Amino acid sequence: MEVKPENIEIKIDTKSKTPVYDQVKQEIKLLIASGKLKEDEMMPSIRELASILQINQNTIVKVYYQLDQEGFLYSLKGKGYYVKKSNQDRKIDKHRMLEELTNEFMEKVLKLGFSSEEIKDTIINKLL
């Protein structure tokens, strides 16, 4: 089963201090953790994803390699990269990602001067 390019929604913030490769890697991790990318689905080719995102192919090579090393993807020589079978560690990664995103969010909104009460009220309203 192959992932269609239109099924991969990756947003890159060119104004972010986070490197592009890291943004792409985190977005793919989110797609896998959320189940939008399924086990054994073939990822777009390096050339194809680089073209879609309008970034250098070497960036995608780095992303795919790191995701392979971290257990999110696996490669078949001459065929490409595939989404790796989910496992117990994936649940841990999902919670770690939640923690990292929450920390990043809190750091930004506190810098903007919002109080803890304002932040809590806003989050509660979004959840309702």
In this predicted model, which residue has the larger pLDDT, 86 or 97? 97
State mean pLDDT over 4-15.
77
pLDDT for residue 73: 94
pLDDT at residue number 5: 54
Distance from C-alpha of 5 to C-alpha of 23, rounded to nearest angstrom: 17
* 3-state class (DSSP) for residue 76: strand
In tens, the pLDDT along 20-73 reads: 999 999 899 888 888 888 889 999 999 999 999 999 999 999 999 999 998 899
Q: What is the pLDDT of residue 92?
A: 59
Looking at residue 32, its pLDDT comes to 87
The CB-side HSE value for 78 (13 A sphere, CA atoms) comes to 0
Say which amino acid occupies 41.
E
Band of the pLDDT at 4, cuts 50, 70, 90? low
pLDDT value for 97: 77
- For residue 34, what pLDDT is reported? 81
Give the pLDDT mean for 98-126.
89
Region 78-84: mean pLDDT is 93
What are the residues whose beta carbons fall under 8 Å from the beta carbon of 118, sequence distance 6 or more?
none
